[in-house]
Amino acid sequence: MAKKKRSKFNRFIKKSQRAKRKVAGHSHQPLLFPKGFLWGTSTSSHQVEGNNTNNDWWAWEHGRGKKRVAEPSGAAANQYELYENDFDIIADMHNNAHRLSIEWSRIEPEEGQWNWIEVEHYRKVLQALKKRNIKVMLTLHHFTNPIWLAKQGGWEQRRTAELFARYAEFIAEHLGEYVDFWITINEPLVYVSESYMLGKWPPAKKSIWKTAKVFFTMARAHRLAYREIHAEMHKQHRIARVGIAKNVVSLVSYRKKFIDYVYVRVSEYVWNNFFFSRTRGTHDYLGVNYYFHNRVKRDKGGKLVFVDVRQEDRDRSDLGWEIYAPGLFDVLLELQRYGLPIYITENGLAAINDHKRTRFIVAHVKELYHAIKAGMDVRGYFHWSLLDNYEWDKGFEPRFGLIAVDYETQKRTIRPSARVYARICEENAITHEILRYLGHGAHEEDS
Ligand code: BGC
């Protein structure tokens, strides 16, 4: 049976790759996306709102002792006040969707106490999107935790799953009418590994045991929240589409060695699939954050390492991450086994050089086009990020935004890449003239 399934999967891969080669031929026709395809951008509360003083990240940024972050988040991009202005830009970019997150520590500043002023604030934020005809994708947990929760032991304690599900239910009850797509947890594996394995993010532990414990608590929290949101939306006679945003990596074996290949497949399973398989049956769609393509090999000690991209002289972002658009096609192919619709919930790069961002967007969106042509059910693309923001421990230096932010004045400046993205969204297609940005110097006419 497993053999039969595998050969079916292999046939599908071959067919997809053939289709990709076929559509790659030269033609002046626009590369059209399906009607209703979602075009948007993504942000998260702590990275853009500013003054999120009641969560564990803020405490971490201001903790005494050795320097843990490049700089504190402070007022960030002050989207807490400037959201109307930012949403006007979204509408001008012809986006029909937007992904943002709710800050748990604002809504529930102490255990069991709900802050109605903040509930009303988020109501206005979500209404502002709806007024502009923008579909809402709402994340409930994007790396930050209320301080009261962190003090209890955060995700290391089992009951956090129940506390999270109760918060999810509360948001569904009071703000659910504005939400088209729910993301319970953003990148559980990134959170777990940065905070409990590598010890770089709060609470900065380095323990395999705790890593596993937190992983399982998060998986349970997702399952419980999925059920609560569905139950509440059912009561309101609304459709609930619930998922997570999963960081998915494209991995290849650097050398043609069987044992390296096995290593790759195992890592792929653990990083890309394990959370999905632990939470099977509780995803209405798959949310994919795609940033990484890594070439893997074993070093002399038998340890699995990523080949340094600088040594390879590959195209890379300001953070040194390799830029490899076909990897997006590959991970989508890998996720076909779940038979669920897919949304790209994040994809982007840190780049001062905005030409690079333009090429990046066109190249990645083109991979989506090929994936759809090959029969994959991809329904939306959310670029990370709408505007420059607080990149966690790295501070404000990495520039991920389609919109540049001057943090002194909070002035927004639309980058040329945003105009190219806006044209793709407006046309719901990559036109031949936009394709020309691949491999050519971009924005000649804009400079
Ligand atoms: C996270 C974002 C982050 C982005 C770029 C994603 O993993 O969800 O919060 O800013 O990557 O590093």
String of DSSP letters for 109-155: SBTTB--HHHHHHHHHHHHHHHHTT-EEEEEEESS--BHHHHHHTGG
The pLDDT of residue 357: 98
The pLDDT of residue 26: 66
Could you identify the atom of ligand 1 that is nearest to the CA of residue 247?
7
Closest residue by CA, ligand 1 atom 3: 391
Residue showing tokens 């000649």: 444
Q: Ligand 1, residues 48, 384, 391, 396: which to mutate, most atoms within 8 A of Cβ?
A: 384
What end-to-end distance do the CA atoms of the chain give, in Å?
Answer: 59
Percent of the chain whose pLDDT exceeds 90: 83
Say how many Å lie between the CA of residue 86 and the centre of ligand 1: 19
Say how many Å lie between the CA of residue 396 and the centre of ligand 1: 13
Say how many Å lie between the CA of residue 391 and the centre of ligand 1: 7
pLDDT at 197 over 70: yes
Closest residue by CA, ligand 1 atom 5: 391
pLDDT at 231 over 60: yes
pLDDT-derived band at 444 (thresholds 50, 70, 90) equals very low
Percent of the chain whose pLDDT exceeds 70: 93
The answer to which of 223-232, 253-262, 362-371, 434-443 has the lowest mean pLDDT is 434-443
The answer to which of 224-228, 299-303, 383-387, 398-402 has the lowest mean pLDDT is 299-303
Closest residue by CA, ligand 1 atom 10: 391
Say how many Å lie between the CA of residue 388 and the centre of ligand 1: 12
Distance in angstroms (rounded) separating the CA atoms of residues 412 and 105: 27
The pLDDT of residue 24: 55
pLDDT-derived band at 255 (thresholds 50, 70, 90) equals confident
Buried b (16+ CB within 10 A) or exposed e, 297-324: bbeeeeeeeebebeeeeeebbeeeebbb
Distance in angstroms (rounded) separating the CA atoms of residues 186 and 422: 26
Q: What is the pLDDT of residues 35-77, one digit of tens each?
A: 999 999 999 999 999 999 999 999 999 997 778 999 999 999 9
pLDDT-derived band at 260 (thresholds 50, 70, 90) equals confident
CA-wise closest residue to 180 among 95, 73, 99, 118? 99
Tell me if 90 sits within 8 A of 81, measured CB to CB.
no
Higher pLDDT, 255 or 402: 402
Closest residue by CA, ligand 1 atom 12: 391
pLDDT at 158 over 70: yes
Which residues sit with their C-beta closer than 6 Å to ligand 1? 44, 47, 186-187, 190, 247, 289, 346, 384, 391
Section 306-325 average pLDDT: 88
Could you identify the atom of ligand 1 that is nearest to the CA of residue 384?
4
Q: What is the pLDDT of residues 73-109, one digit of tens each?
A: 999 999 999 999 999 999 999 999 999 999 999 999 9
Q: Ligand 1, residues 57, 101, 201, 346: which to mutate, most atoms within 8 A of Cβ?
A: 346
Could you identify the atom of ligand 1 that is nearest to the CA of residue 319?
12
Instruction: Provide CATH code, domain 31-437.
Output: 3.20.20.80
Say how many Å lie between the CA of residue 382 and the centre of ligand 1: 12
Section 178-189 average pLDDT: 98
pLDDT-derived band at 306 (thresholds 50, 70, 90) equals confident
pLDDT at 8 over 80: no
Section 5-29 average pLDDT: 68
The pLDDT of residue 205: 97
Closest residue by CA, ligand 1 atom 9: 44
Distance in angstroms (rounded) separating the CA atoms of residues 22 and 16: 10
pLDDT-derived band at 390 (thresholds 50, 70, 90) equals very high
pLDDT at 21 over 90: no
Distance in angstroms (rounded) separating the CA atoms of residues 354 and 216: 40
Q: What is the mean pLDDT of the chain?
A: 93
Section 193-197 average pLDDT: 98
Q: pTM here?
A: 0.93
Say how many Å lie between the CA of residue 188 and the centre of ligand 1: 12
pLDDT-derived band at 25 (thresholds 50, 70, 90) equals low
Residue showing tokens 């071959």: 14
Q: What is the pLDDT of residues 159-175, one digit of tens each?
A: 999 999 999 999 999 99
* Main-chain phi, psi angles of 379, to 5 degrees: -120, -5
Six-digit token pair at 4?
């039969």
Section 352-362 average pLDDT: 98
